[in-house]
Amino acid sequence: QVQMVESGGGLVQAGGSLRLSCTPSGLNLDDYGMAWFRQASGKEREGVACITRGYGTGFYADSVQGRFTISRDKEKNTLYLQMNSLKLEDTAIYYCAAGEWARCGTDWPSRPPTEYEHWGQGTQVTVSS
């Protein structure tokens, strides 16, 4: 059974940084399309960043481009999201996701969340002024 365990969320002041981690059990992240999504209160879930299987290239939503970095550690089988220069509007629950057939490329984040069949429980990120 696949489980996606996230950590690293918390309360941070605007302009600060956080790093989220996601360690899946029951799957090798290099065999799956991996991504981070977020959902703010009262809003739909949106794609934040995805990472390609091969070269590990990241693709980002315009709202986080230049501030967030997605990466992976194959030895630790862990996915990361480094978030810098956080803004109030980054406040949301962040989810990592894995999809065996999920695609990651220049059309991110228009790719549908339904491409991902495995989801973490979510970790809350709250940015204060």
Q: CA 80: distance to chain centroid?
A: 7
**For residue 116, how many other CB atoms are within 10 A of its CB?**
24
* Run of H or E including 84: none
User: Residue 22 forms beta bridges with which residues?
Assistant: 6, 79
Band (112; pLDDT cuts 50, 70, 90):
confident
Is the pLDDT confidence value at 110 over 90?
Answer: no
Band (109; pLDDT cuts 50, 70, 90):
confident
Band (1; pLDDT cuts 50, 70, 90):
confident
The distance between the two most distant Cα atoms of the chain, rounded to a whole number of Å, is: 40
The residue-averaged pLDDT of 94-123 equals 93
The residue-averaged pLDDT of 92-109 equals 93
Q: Which residue's structure tokens are 């803004």?
A: 87
Band (84; pLDDT cuts 50, 70, 90):
very high
b/e string for 81-104 if b means 16 or more Cβ within 10 A? bebeebeeebbbbbbbbbbeebeb
Q: Is 77 helix (H, G, I), strand (E, B) or coil?
A: coil
**For residue 62, how many other CB atoms are within 10 A of its CB?**
7
Mean pLDDT of the chain: 95
Predicted confidence (pLDDT) per residue in 47-76, tens digit: 999 999 888 999 999 999 999 999 999 999
